[in-house]
Structure 1
Amino acid sequence: MSLREHIPAPVMAGVPAILANSFDPANALRSVIPDELSGGRSAAQILINARHRDIAFLAGTDELVAPGRRSDGFQRAMAAANLPATNIVTTAWEVNKGFAAAMHLLTNDDGRTPRTDRPTGIVCANDRVAVGVLLACGRLRLRVPEDLSIVGYDDEPQRAGPARSGPPSPFPGHKGGRAAGKVISGALTRQLFHNANLCMVTMATRGRTTKCDAGVG
């Protein structure tokens, strides 16, 4: 389930309570939420550190909270590296959408031959989109990661493959539940946390990304 707003029932105001993977827009309740901003920034930084300069972001959809925060993090990382963040594409979340977006980004107008000025790295909204990008690379006979480096998101075990690297799900259920339990325990013993939100994001690498020569577009 994606990060979302949650307006708590009035009864929750009178008891120790905490939201997990959701937040109260009025900040009346504490929350344990993923740091989607840092996640998007970290995903971009993987490719920036590998000296990629032309990086695209396949950003999911706009109706959810998480994609906007990930996109903001991506753009901040690019700006900090003095790189343009012009290739941000709304793609939805499925394999076929990743495939279609990658074919659009990577091919000439004929839709069949790879562009010479294509991106050298792509950050994907989730691992299903990343699989779609991998399939597009197979169709175009582009090598991963030699011709294109791909960063996925969400660490879906059934999707993760040797050619993909990136941050896993920033809200692992058992760790998020444990953190929420600690906050509740602190509230019950009057050892209250001062922060409204506890944010967490972790990184994992599978395979490798290819370093680009400086100045490659």
Structure 2
Amino acid sequence: MTDAVEIIELSKKYGYFWALKSLSLRIRRGESVAVLGPNGAGKTTLMKIVATHIQPSTGTVKIFGKNAFKNGGKTRQQIGFVTHESFLYGELTIEENLLFYARLFSIDPESFQDKIASLNLRRWYRTPAKRLSYGLRKRADIIRALIHDPGLILLDELFAGLDKETCGLLTDYLREQREKALLISSHSIVWARKLCDRGIFLNKGEIAQDTRF
């Protein structure tokens, strides 16, 4: 069986600065991996490349055995991506946002009602996204990212700016998605250990340590 993610000799250069240097990594189906490290280590750059939002300078990224940048839209359909910037439309309610994304993927609205309940969003279901707290928007954004049942979940700086209760709720929910591959970036090793099987520590664009939790 092919890996969920295979990264081969990946590098990314911005001007004279190498954000990533010859990085290689495999993530199995069903495996949850945290990318950890200080600011500037290359965490967000790595996440955006795997999500196909930016091109690498050199190297190869395969998602479920296919070249991510040659497979285009088909690759993106296999990925659910959440960043610190919400993909929700501020003027629309949670319900309207999710219905919009459901239509994009031809998804039955009934299929994500359990996610609304699991993340305790029913009370705010008809509230415009711009009126939600950061933590509530994050919950809704995770449902948005998972609405099409992707095989790979990418969560950039998942725990940043969230209170302990929300961190716990998201951790419990994401641990239930064990059949999917999960890649998160985080500054918090405490929450990363609770959620993930494995930690990748980056330093100056290179893997400094790869360890099981």
TM superposition score normalised by structure 1: 0.30
Point out which structure has higher relative CO (alpha carbons under 8 A, 6+ apart). 2
TM superposition score normalised by structure 2: 0.31
Higher strand share: 2
Q: Which has the larger radius of gyration?
A: 1
